[in-house]
Amino acid sequence: MGATFRFTGDEIPYTPPSTAVTAGDVIVVGEFVGVAKNDIAVAEDGVLSVVGIYDVNILSTVTFAAGDIAYWDASESEATDDADSGANKQMGIVTVASSAAGADTAIRLSR
């Protein structure tokens, strides 16, 4: 047997190594960008959602059109349209155009 089904993959396990996580925090784990479903204490097991549509903060200089690729800028804790040579990880696809530069917008997680 080559593979055994574990779960659908809508969530991935996550254990914060040094900083507690608050529900709604965006967390980068390797190439995954996930959203904490609940508060997670340091060294406690939790989960990150890696699918779904979330309203996300975006950089004040960025506007998005529906269908644009969004990247997560962990240093700014906001979404951007710039991969920054791979430093910013692909978060997903914008589902609703942003109403103004820096306005929150809906992004479908896609990893």
pTM of the model: 0.90
How far, CA to CA in Å, does 42 sit from each of 27, 48, 49? 14, 14, 18
Q: Where are the beta strands (DSSP E) in the chain?
A: 11-14, 26-29, 32-36, 46-49, 51-56, 69-73, 78-80, 89-94, 105-110
pLDDT tens digits along 9-67:
899 999 999 999 999 999 999 999 999 999 999 999 999 999 999 999 999 999 999 99
pLDDT tens digits along 76-88:
999 999 999 999 9
Amino acid identity for residue 15 in this structure: T
- Provide the percentage of residues in the chain whose pLDDT is more than 70: 98
Position 111 pLDDT exceeds 80: no
